[in-house]
Amino acid sequence: MSREPAPMDVVDFARYFAALAVVLGLLGLLALGARQGWLSRLMTKVAHSRLPGIQNDRRMRVRETLILDPRRRLVIVNCDGEDHLLLLGPNAETVIDRKPEKTGPGAVS
């Protein structure tokens, strides 16, 4: 006696359709998170978290950027307690100014 496979019934079809909808919904949520910047913020928080045993003291950080035109931008970089104003272009980078980091009542962080 050989058993023939049972035809796919409505319950199996609904189960497959529900699984497909969940997977597509999760992919859509991931795409939305990537587009809105949620994903990059989450990854940055994970990368910068203070976990025991991980040294996370950085000497350099970008404080502010200003886009001048599609090819050039001004960037203030803080390195070792000193602010550097850089002009970044397609062919060259130029240091415009160097100053000690502002500390006190006028400092903005």
Instruction: Please check whether residue 72 lies inside any domain of the structure.
Output: yes
- Tell whether 65 and 41 lie within a shared domain: no
* Per-residue pLDDT at 34: 85
Residues 3-40 have pLDDT tens digits of 666 666 788 888 999 999 999 999 999 998 888 888 88
Query: How many domains are there within the chain?
Result: 2
Q: Binning pLDDT at 50, 70 and 90, where does residue 53 land? A: low
Please, what is the Cα angle at 69 between 43 and 32, to 5 degrees? Answer: 30
109 domain-assigned:
no
User: Is residue 52 in a domain?
Assistant: no
Mean pLDDT of the chain: 82
Residue 14 domain flag: yes
- 40 domain-assigned: yes
Residue 54, pLDDT score: 58
The answer as to whether 105 is a domain residue is no
pLDDT at 65: 93
Of the candidates 94, 96, 72, the one whose C-alpha atom is nearest the C-alpha of residue 85 is: 96
Measured distance CA(50)–CA(57) in Å, rounded: 10
Q: Domain of 95?
A: 60-100
Residue 74 domain-assigned (yes or no) = yes
For the chain, how big is the Rg over CA atoms in Å? 27
Give the 3-state secondary structure of residue 57: coil
